[in-house]
Amino acid sequence: MTSTASTAAPLADARALGLAHYAARGVLEHVLARHGVTFQQQMALRAAVTADAPQTPDDLIAQVRVALKADPADIRATLDELLAKQLLVADGAHLRPTDAGRELVPAVSAETAPITARIWGGIPAEDLAAAGRVLTLVRERANAELAALARPR
């Protein structure tokens, strides 16, 4: 008797999305650990480094919160950690990246670039476009659900 195993691709779902996210994040966290920073620290530092203008702590907290859905108190603690590591410096009401902070972001990007290329390489452009559309829709819907959950009842 012959087997007729299905060759159809699995459908994307929340579990598949989560597993892909955590696998990719695991790669990044491995690289970040070599530089002595956490994922949340890197996200806050990147927000400061890529900003067009100096950011207040509240500005950075808001940006990181939108991206990570993290607790503002945890993000404030992360900013304190970046100050202690001298990757950010207080300049009046603003936080500015130090030279070390500015150098860290592209260093991590350069280190992860070949890994990212191996992970994403060879995926057809049309598949990436379809995945991009689906992920954008999922993010928009999840953000709407989160906003609804946060509203007082």
What's the CATH number where 85 sits?
Answer: 1.10.10.10
- Amino acid code (one letter) for 2: T
Structural domain contains residue 68: yes
Q: Would you say 48 and 101 are in contact if contact means Cβ atoms under 8 Å apart?
A: yes
Structural domain contains residue 102: yes
3-state DSSP assignment of residue 54: coil
Structural domain contains residue 145: no
Burial 82-103 (b: 16+ CB within 10 A, else e): beebebbeeeeebbbbbeebee
pLDDT in tens, 90-134: 999 999 999 999 999 999 999 999 999 999 999 999 999 999 999
pLDDT in tens, 21-77: 999 999 999 999 999 999 999 999 999 999 999 999 999 999 999 999 999 999 999
What pLDDT is recorded for position 153?
Answer: 79
Structural domain contains residue 87: yes
Q: Would you say 85 and 137 are in contact if contact means Cβ atoms under 8 Å apart?
A: no
Structural domain contains residue 91: yes
Structural domain contains residue 41: yes
The H or E element that residue 122 is part of is none
Structural domain contains residue 32: yes
Q: Which domain holds residue 66?
A: 27-121
CA dist., res. 136 & res. 23, Å (int): 19
Task: Report, as an integer, the average pLDDT of 71-88.
Answer: 98
Of the two residues 28 and 8, the one the predictor is more confident about is 28
Structural domain contains residue 147: no
Number of domains composing the chain? 1
What pLDDT is recorded for position 152?
Answer: 85
